[in-house]
């Protein structure tokens, strides 16, 4: 995939993630940073970073429980380790860090 196509795809996904997090009803401070980075801070002070990694053509998630890499595949972003879906993992990771259920609905 060309770099420009990947960046456009990743930026659109990051925007959807940001919108879904804002609408989830859980108090999460979301700060978009330059270069395709979303920094999330939870009430308990923990942070999660979601960013695009252009060289690898992946979206990376750094959470309290570890780091995860996702590649675009058939209209979804799939974990390179176990094939899990980005959205399902984000909901689980955010729930763990927030200490309460976080439901993410993809708003297209």
Tens digit of each residue's pLDDT (9 = 90 or more) over 10-24: 999 999 999 999 999
pTM equals 0.93
Give the pLDDT score at 3: 94
Buried/exposed code over 49-60 (b: 16+ C-beta within 10 A; e: otherwise): ebbbeeeebbbe
CATH number of domain containing 50: 3.30.920.10
With a cut of 70, say whether residue 108 has pLDDT above it.
Answer: no
Q: What would the pLDDT profile of 22-66 be if each residue is shown by its tens digit?
A: 999 999 999 999 999 999 999 999 999 999 999 999 999 999 999
Q: Is residue 56 part of a domain?
A: yes
Q: Two tokens at 3?
A: 């770099």
When the pLDDT of each residue in the chain is averaged and rounded to a whole number, the result is 95
Residues 98 and 42 sit within 8 Å (Cβ to Cβ): yes
Domain of 77, in residue numbers = 3-98
Question: For position 20, what pLDDT does the model report?
Answer: 95
Split into its structural domains, the chain has a count of 1
């Amino acid at each position: 995939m060309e770099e420009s196509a990947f960046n456009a795809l990743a930026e659109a996904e990051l925007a959807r993630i940001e919108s879904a997090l804002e609408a989830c009803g859980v108090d999460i401070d979301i700060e978009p940073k330059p270069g395709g980075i979303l920094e999330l801070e939870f009430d308990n002070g923990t942070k999660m970073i979601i960013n695009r990694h252009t060289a690898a053509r992946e979206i990376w998630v750094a959470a309290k429980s570890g780091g995860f890499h996702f590649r675009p595949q058939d209209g979804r972003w799939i974990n390179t380790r176990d094939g899990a879906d980005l959205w399902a993992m984000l909901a689980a990771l955010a729930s763990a860090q927030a200490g309460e259920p976080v439901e993410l609905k993809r708003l297209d």
